[in-house]
C-alpha cells in the first residue's frame, strides 16, 4: 500500500473507531478456531479492538477439544436430539478442556514481544463463575445428565469486570446453586451474555460463512424479521440456520446487531468493523439501509454527496442555508448511518406540478436500482400530494429520465414561479412526466 492509500484508508476507518469506542461486543467462536495455526492473529485483532476501547467478552466453544479427550480415554461421544449427553466422565473431559483453553488464551493475551502486534499492550483477562446453569434434565426419555442450559448471567459481575477494562472469557460451563457444573452450548452462552449486557454487537466467528441452502452467494444483511421468515422457509444451510436462529434470539432480547463472520478469513473482524460494507452477514433489528425523509443532521452527508457533482456541473449549486430551509423536501437513502443517496421534491401547488431535484447517488452505489427507487418514491409522494406531473431539469441525465417515462419539454411548460429563477446559462434539458 502506498503512503496516500494508507492515509486514506486510516482516515476512512476513523468514524468507526469513534463509533465503537466504549461499546460492548460479545465474540463467539468454535473450539476449531483455537486449534488453528492462525489463532494468534485473531488474538491480535481482538487485542487491537480492546486497545481501541471496545469492551470485549469472548465465548469460545470446545467441541473438538472435548472429542479428543473422550477419544483418548476410549470413550464415545453421546448425542441425542442434536445435543451432547454429558456423563461424569465427559464432564471431566470438559473441565480439562476448559482449563487448558483458558490458560492458552490468557497466555496469548499476555504476549508483548517488541516486534509483534502485541508490543506495549497489557491486557488483563478475567474469567469466573458468571454463568449460572440448570440441568436440561430428561427430554423425551433421554437423561442429558450434566448437559445444562443457561439459567442466568451475572450481569453486574460482568459489568464490573468490563468497567475495570478487563477482557472477559466465558467458557461453555455453568454453575448451579447446588455447586454442580454443567456443560453448555457456547453459542447459547454468547447469546444469553449479549442479551444480559444489552451488548451493541454479538459477533459469531463461524466455521463457514452464512449461506442459503440453495446458493453459495454471500448474504450481506438481513433484518431480524427477514431472518425469522427465511428460517421458517428452511432457506439456510444447516450450520447457517443455527447461527441465524441465535442471531434472531439475541436481537429479540435486545442486542442491536449480530454479525456472522467467516473465521477463516484473515482479519475478518477488522474488515467487518472498520469498513462501510464489511464482509460478514449482518442481522439487525433495524434495516441496514433505509429510504427516509431527510433530517437537519443529514445535511453534512448530503453536502458530501452533492458538492463533487456541483463542482463538475451535474447538479446546480446549493448553499448549506438553502439546504437547511428546504430540508423538508428531501429524502435520503442512509446506509449504516451514512447518506449514500438523496432526492428532493419541490412542490408548485398552483400548477399541480412537482420538481424532482438533486437526485444523486454515491458513486460506489450507482447502477444497483437505488436511483429508480428514489424516483419511484418521489413519484408516489407526489401522487399522494395530488400533483399531476413531475418535472426535472438536468444537464447530464436526460436519457436516464427519458427511459423512465419522462418526455422532453420546454421552459414554457414549467410553473411560472419556477421559470423566474432558472439559470439559463446551464442550458439544462427540461423533462416532464405525467403522473
Ligand atoms: C442518475 C443517477 C441518479 C442514477 O442512479 P442509479 O442508482 O445509478 O440508477 P439505477 O441503478 O436505477 O439505473 C442504472 C441505469 O441507469 C443508467 N444511467 C446512469 N446514469 C445515467 C445517465 N446520466 N444517463 C443515462 N443513463 C444513465 C446506467 O447505465 C444503468 O443502466 P443499465 O442498467 O442499462 O446499465 C446516478 O447515476 C447519479 O447520481 N448521477 C449523478 C447525478 C445526476 O446526474 N443526477 C440527475 C440530475 S437531477
pLDDT 10s digits, 137-161: 999 899 999 999 999 999 999 999 9
Pocket of ligand 1 (CB under 6 A): 309, 314, 359-361, 366-372, 392, 394, 396-397, 399-400
Closest atom, ligand 1, to C-alpha of 393? 48
DSSP letters for 53-97:
T-EEEEEE--HHHHHHHHHHTTPPP-EETTEE-B-HHHHHHHHHH
**pLDDT value, residue 215:** 85
**pLDDT value, residue 227:** 93
pLDDT 10s digits, 373-384: 999 999 999 999
**pLDDT value, residue 114:** 65
Closest atom, ligand 1, to C-alpha of 361? 39
**Are the C-beta atoms of residues 131 and 165 closer than 8 Å to each other?**
no
Looking at ligand 1, which residue's alpha carbon is closest to its atom 44? Answer: 397
CA–centroid distance, residue 340 to ligand 1 (Å) = 14
CA–centroid distance, residue 342 to ligand 1 (Å) = 13
Coil, helix or strand at residue 73: coil
Phi-psi region at 119: left, alpha or beta (left = phi > 0; alpha = psi -120 to 50): beta
DSSP structure class, residue 162: H
Looking at ligand 1, which residue's alpha carbon is closest to its atom 41? Answer: 360
Phi-psi region at 53: left, alpha or beta (left = phi > 0; alpha = psi -120 to 50): left
**Are the C-beta atoms of residues 41 and 103 closer than 8 Å to each other?**
no
CA–centroid distance, residue 299 to ligand 1 (Å) = 22
Q: Cα-flanking dihedrals φ and ψ of residue 169, to 5°?
A: -115, 125
Of 264, 301, 298, nearest in space to 279 by CA: 264
**Comparing 3-288 with 290-434, is the CATH topology the same?**
no
Closest atom, ligand 1, to C-alpha of 370? 7
Residue 167 CA from chain centroid, whole number: 22
Pocket-testing residue among 367, 395, 429, ligand 1, by greatest number of atoms within 8 A of Cβ: 367
**pLDDT value, residue 152:** 96
pTM above 0.85, yes or no: no
Closest atom, ligand 1, to C-alpha of 360? 39
Closest atom, ligand 1, to C-alpha of 362? 39
Q: How far apart are CA 423 and CA 411, in angstroms?
A: 11
CA–centroid distance, residue 432 to ligand 1 (Å) = 17
**pLDDT value, residue 337:** 79
Burial-class residue 96 by CB neighbours within 10 Å (0-12, 13-18, 19+).
middle
Parallel/antiparallel/unpaired status of strands 24-29 and 55-60: parallel
Coil, helix or strand at residue 422: coil
Closest atom, ligand 1, to C-alpha of 392? 48
Q: Which residue has the cell 468514524?
A: 15
Please tell us whether the domain made up of 290-434 is placed in CATH 2.60.40.1930: no
Write down the domain spans for the chain: 3-288, 290-434
The three-point CA angle 66-68-71 to 5° equals 110
The pLDDT tens digits along the chain (435 residues) read 789 888 988 888 888 899 899 999 999 999 999 999 999 999 999 999 999 999 999 999 999 999 999 999 999 889 998 888 999 999 999 999 999 999 999 999 998 766 777 777 789 999 999 999 999 999 989 999 999 999 999 999 999 999 999 999 999 999 999 999 999 999 999 999 999 999 999 999 999 999 999 888 889 889 998 999 999 999 999 999 999 999 999 999 989 899 999 999 999 999 999 987 778 999 998 777 889 999 999 999 999 999 999 998 888 899 999 999 999 999 999 987 789 999 999 999 999 999 999 999 999 889 888 999 999 999 999 999 999 999 999 998 999 999 999 999 999 999 999 998 888 888 999 999 999
* Angle at which helices 155-163 and 186-197 cross, to 10°: 80
* Angle at which helices 63-72 and 88-110 cross, to 10°: 130
* Angle at which helices 224-232 and 238-252 cross, to 10°: 140
CA–centroid distance, residue 336 to ligand 1 (Å) = 22
Q: How far apart are CA 234 and CA 328, in angstroms?
A: 43
Burial-class residue 94 by CB neighbours within 10 Å (0-12, 13-18, 19+).
buried
CA–centroid distance, residue 366 to ligand 1 (Å) = 7
DSSP letters for 266-331:
TTHHHHHHHSSS-SSEEEESS-SEEEEE--GGGHHHHHHHHHHHHHTTSS----HHHHHHHGGGEE
DSSP structure class, residue 30: -
CA–centroid distance, residue 396 to ligand 1 (Å) = 10
Q: How far apart are CA 376 and CA 139, in angstroms?
A: 54
Q: How far apart are CA 42 and CA 52, in angstroms?
A: 15
Q: How far apart are CA 219 and CA 217, in angstroms?
A: 6
* Topology given in CATH for the domain delimited by 3-288: Carbamate kinase (3.40.1160)
Looking at ligand 1, which residue's alpha carbon is closest to its atom 5? Answer: 371
**Are the C-beta atoms of residues 341 and 331 closer than 8 Å to each other?**
no
Amino acid at each position: 500500500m502506498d503512503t496516500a492509500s494508507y492515509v486514506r484508508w486510516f482516515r476512512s476507518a476513523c468514524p468507526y473507531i469513534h463509533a465503537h469506542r466504549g461499546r460492548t461486543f460479545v465474540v463467539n467462536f468454535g473450539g476449531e478456531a483455537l486449534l488453528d495455526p492462525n489463532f494468534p492473529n485473531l488474538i491480535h485483532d481482538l487485542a487491537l479492538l480492546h486497545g481501541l476501547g471496545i469492551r470485549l467478552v469472548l465465548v469460545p466453544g470446545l467441541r473438538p477439544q472435548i472429542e479428543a479427550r473422550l477419544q483418548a480415554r476410549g470413550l464415545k461421544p453421546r448425542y441425542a436430539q442434536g445435543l451432547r449427553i454429558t456423563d461424569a466422565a465427559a464432564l471431566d473431559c470438559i473441565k480439562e478442556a476448559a482449563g487448558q483453553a483458558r490458560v492458552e488464551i490468557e497466555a496469548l493475551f499476555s504476549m508483548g514481544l517488541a516486534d509483534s502486534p502485541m508490543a506495549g499492550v497489557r491486557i488483563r483477562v478475567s474469567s469466573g463463575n458468571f454463568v449460572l446453569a440448570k440441568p436440561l434434565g430428561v427430554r423425551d426419555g433421554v437423561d442429558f445428565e450434566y448437559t445444562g442450559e443457561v439459567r442466568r448471567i451475572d450481569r453486574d459481575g460482568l459489568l464490573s469486570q468490563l468497567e475495570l477494562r478487563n477482557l472477559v472469557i466465558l467458557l461453555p460451563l455453568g454453575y448451579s446453586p447446588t455447586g454442580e457444573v454443567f456443560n453448555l452450548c457456547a453459542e447459547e452462552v454468547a447469546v444469553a451474555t449479549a442479551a444480559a449486557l444489552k451488548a451493541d454487537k454479538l459477533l459469531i466467528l463461524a466455521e463457514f460463512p452464512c449461506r442459503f441452502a440453495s446458493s453459495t452467494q454471500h448474504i450481506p444483511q438481513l433484518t431480524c424479521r427477514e431472518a425469522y421468515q427465511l428460517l421458517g422457509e428452511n432457506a439456510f444451510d444447516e450450520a447457517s440456520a443455527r447461527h441465524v436462529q441465535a442471531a434472531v434470539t439475541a436481537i429479540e432480547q435486545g442486542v442491536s446487531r449480530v454479525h456472522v463472520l467467516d473465521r477463516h478469513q484473515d482479519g475478518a473482524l477488522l474488515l467487518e468493523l472498520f469498513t462501510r460494507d464489511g464482509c460478514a452477514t449482518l442481522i439487525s433489528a433495524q434495516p441496514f439501509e433505509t429510504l427516509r425523509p431527510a433530517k437537519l443532521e443529514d445535511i453534512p452527508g448530503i453536502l458530501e454527496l452533492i458538492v463533487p457533482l456541483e463542482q463538475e456541473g451535474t447538479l446546480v449549486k446549493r448553499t448549506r442555508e438553502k439546504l437547511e430551509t428546504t430540508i423538508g423536501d428531501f429524502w435520503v437513502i442512509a446506509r449504516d448511518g451514512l447518506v449514500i443517496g438523496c432526492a428532493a421534491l419541490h412542490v408548485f401547488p398552483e400548477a399541480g406540478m412537482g420538481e424532482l431535484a438533486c437526485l444523486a447517488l454515491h458513486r460506489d452505489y450507482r447502477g444497483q436500482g437505488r436511483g429508480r427507487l428514489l424516483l419511484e418514491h418521489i413519484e408516489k409522494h407526489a401522487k399522494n400530494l395530488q400533483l399531476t406531473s413531475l418535472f426535472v431539469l438536468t444537464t447530464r441525465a436526460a436519457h436516464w429520465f427519458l427511459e423512465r417515462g419522462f418526455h422532453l419539454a420546454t421552459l414554457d411548460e414549467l410553473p411560472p414561479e419556477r421559470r423566474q429563477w432558472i439559470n439559463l446559462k446551464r442550458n439544462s434539458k427540461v423533462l416532464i412526466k405525467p403522473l
